[in-house]
């Protein structure tokens, strides 16, 4: 990929910018205290009560900013129950803050207030791990990141050119389950914004995610015929065995196409050992490097489902689909990353990026034509496990980084309209 040239060779700080950045240095203790309090609120993606408590806390915290806060209802989704019934699902509302929506320059900042930890998880509290590390559920992914966003915006609002920029802040309750409800809202906001800033955690060494794979979540429903496992075993049609054959065949697809992976994650079905099981639900994830891979994936899965349906007494139904398209390090995204790197150098940070197999809201924003950087949150690691941790010093470090990026956008030194124009030429995946 050719290097993207920008008009800026070296950033200088105005007196206003220096003042705003210096003030953030005094926010460390308050940020730590708030992050611990938020971490102790269990807001697992399916914990409605916890999500409502967390969203109320966020509405209060973000009310110090100008603009209007709303709690939009999200699009309903579908979920396959363990008994094979497909139910409609209503997700909890998002939090949306809109500031200066008529400004000439528009930014969308996104994050999520759900975590992967269910209400009965043993991982519910924080612990000081020493060496600048704090462990706790969601401290990195991404309650710490939400705080970085909030403090950066507060500092930005005190800067001299803030009125030049309008922005939307979207905090979603469903990112950890693929953003099924918030995807349309992400697409709407991304299509209107010049760039996006997302607050997933950076790696512990400060590296950001660059190119990201795409992702799809599927559930296969296989039905057979129940029978007594002893007296009439021959009359039964074992759905679990059929699922096992499908799973093994799907696993064999790994390695056939570069960067494409299939992962059978959970199988529901069966009951008493003396009954031939007549139902199996297989839930799996697919990742891909390129949008064109999705056609190949759909064809291969279709072939495997057809094989299952040809078995005597077996029916198979595939549900789900592709939830997030790939996000490449396209020229528009590279330009935005270059701005992050320039801002980091002013602050003494040598920021690098690495490709990632993970997905996030940055994928959704790119699909809507919005160039973005999606790991502007805290430095941390071991996310999605009970070893999750945050590097405490990164709270103010990353807040200063985002504040400076915002101020340079407002001053015109970072030309977000140029980045948006580049993205339109790329014709991101949702439009291809």
- Specify whether the CB–CB gap between 142 and 377 falls below 8 A: yes
Statement: residue 333 has pLDDT above 80: yes
- Counting Cα atoms < 13 Å in the Cβ hemisphere of 416 gives 29
Q: Are strands 195-198 and 105-112 parallel, antiparallel or unpaired?
A: parallel
CA distance 372 to 333: 6
Q: Which residues contact 429 (CB under 8 A, 6 or more apart)?
A: 214, 291, 325, 326, 366, 367
Note the pLDDT tens digit of each residue in 11-63: 999 998 999 999 998 999 999 999 999 999 999 999 999 999 999 999 999 99
Quick one: DSSP state of residue 140?
A: I
Split at pLDDT 50, 70, 90, the class of 427 is: low
**What pLDDT score does 250 carry?**
98
**What pLDDT score does 10 carry?**
76
The strands making up 195-198's β-sheet, listed across from edge to edge, are: 68-70, 95-99, 165-172, 105-112, 195-198, 372-373
Split at pLDDT 50, 70, 90, the class of 425 is: confident
Statement: residue 72 has pLDDT above 50: yes
CA dihedral (384, 388, 390, 391) positive or negative: negative
Average pLDDT over residues 293-306: 97
Rg, C-alpha atoms of the chain: 23
Distances (CA, A) of 272 to 82, 228, 244, 268, 314: 15, 10, 18, 13, 20
139: three-class secondary structure by DSSP: helix
Higher per-residue pLDDT: 272 or 78: 272
**What pLDDT score does 1 carry?**
38
Split at pLDDT 50, 70, 90, the class of 7 is: very low
Q: Are strands 68-70 and 95-99 parallel, antiparallel or unpaired?
A: antiparallel
Average pLDDT over residues 222-233: 97
Note the pLDDT tens digit of each residue in 371-385: 999 999 999 999 999
CA distance 419 to 372: 9
Average pLDDT over residues 386-404: 98
Element (H, E) at 339: helix 331-346
Quick one: DSSP state of residue 423?
A: H
First to last CA, the chain: 20
Statement: residue 5 has pLDDT above 50: no
**What pLDDT score does 428 carry?**
59
- Specify whether the CB–CB gap between 96 and 172 falls below 8 A: no
The closest of 326, 291, 297 to 212, measured between CA atoms, is 326
Statement: residue 75 has pLDDT above 70: yes
**What pLDDT score does 426 carry?**
80
**What pLDDT score does 146 carry?**
98
Statement: residue 246 has pLDDT above 90: yes
CA distance 186 to 134: 31
Split at pLDDT 50, 70, 90, the class of 103 is: very high
Average pLDDT over residues 295-308: 98
Element (H, E) at 409: helix 394-411
- Specify whether the CB–CB gap between 209 and 394 falls below 8 A: no
CA distance 422 to 119: 44
Give the angle 162-163-165 at the CA atoms, nearest 5°.
75
Q: Domain 214-324: which topology?
A: Alpha-Beta Plaits (3.30.70)
Split at pLDDT 50, 70, 90, the class of 9 is: low
Mean pLDDT of the chain: 94
**What pLDDT score does 222 carry?**
98
Please, where are the H alpha helices in 46-97?
48-62
Note the pLDDT tens digit of each residue in 169-191: 999 999 999 999 999 999 999 99
CA distance 236 to 215: 36
Average pLDDT over residues 393-405: 98
Q: Are strands 214-223 and 261-269 parallel, antiparallel or unpaired?
A: unpaired
**What pLDDT score does 137 carry?**
98
CA distance 107 to 112: 17
User: For residue 197, what are the β-bridge partners?
Assistant: 109, 373
For the chain, domain boundaries: 15-75+90-211+327-431, 214-324
Statement: residue 430 has pLDDT above 80: no
The top-level CATH class assigned to 15-75+90-211+327-431 is: alpha beta
């Amino acid at each position: 990929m050719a290097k993207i040239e920008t008009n800026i060779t070296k950033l200088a700080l105005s007196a206003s910018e220096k003042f705003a950045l210096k003030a953030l240095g005094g926010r460390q203790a308050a940020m730590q205290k708030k992050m611990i309090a938020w971490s102790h609120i269990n807001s697992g993606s399916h914990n409605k009560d916890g999500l409502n408590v967390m969203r109320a806390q966020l509405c209060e915290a973000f009310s110090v900013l100008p603009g209007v806060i709303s709690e939009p209802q999200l699009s309903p989704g579908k979920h396959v129950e363990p008994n094979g019934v497909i139910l409609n699902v209503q997700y909890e509302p998002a939090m949306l803050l809109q500031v200066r929506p008529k400004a000439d320059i528009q930014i969308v900042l996104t994050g999520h207030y759900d975590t992967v930890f269910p209400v009965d998880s043993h991982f519910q509290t924080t612990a000081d791990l020493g060496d600048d590390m704090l462990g706790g559920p969601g401290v990195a992914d991404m309650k710490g990141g939400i705080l970085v966003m909030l403090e950066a915006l507060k500092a930005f609002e005190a800067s001299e050119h803030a009125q030049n920029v309008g922005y939307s802040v979207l905090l979603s309750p469903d990112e950890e389950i693929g953003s099924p409800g918030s995807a349309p809202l992400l697409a709407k906001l991304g299509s209107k914004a010049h760039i996006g800033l997302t607050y997933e955690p950076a790696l512990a060494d400060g590296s950001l995610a660059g190119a990201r794979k795409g992702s799809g979540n599927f559930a296969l429903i296989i039905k057979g015929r129940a029978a007594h496992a002893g007296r009439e075993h021959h009359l039964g049609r074992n759905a679990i065995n059929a699922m096992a054959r499908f799973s093994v065949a799907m696993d064999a697809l790994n390695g056939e196409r570069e960067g494409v992976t299939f992962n059978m994650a959970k199988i529901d079905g069966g009951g008493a050992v003396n009954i031939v099981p007549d139902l199996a639900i297989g839930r799996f994830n697919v990742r891909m490097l390129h949008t064109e891979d999705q056609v190949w994936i759909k064809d291969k899965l279709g072939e495997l489902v057809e094989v299952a349906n040809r078995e005597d007494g077996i029916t198979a139904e595939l549900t789900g689909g592709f939830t997030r398209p790939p996000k490449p390090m396209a020229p528009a995204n590279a330009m935005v990353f270059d701005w992050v790197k320039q801002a980091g150098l002013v602050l003494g940070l040598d920021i690098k990026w690495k490709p990632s197999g993970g997905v996030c809201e940055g994928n959704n924003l790119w699909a809507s034509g919005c160039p973005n950087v999606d790991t502007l949150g805290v430095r941390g690691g071991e996310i999605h496990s009970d070893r999750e941790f945050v590097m405490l010093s990164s709270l103010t470090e990353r807040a200063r980084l985002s504040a400076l990026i915002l101020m340079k956008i407002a001053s015109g030194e970072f030309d977000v309209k140029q980045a948006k124009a580049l993205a339109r030429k790329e014709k991101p995946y949702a439009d291809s």
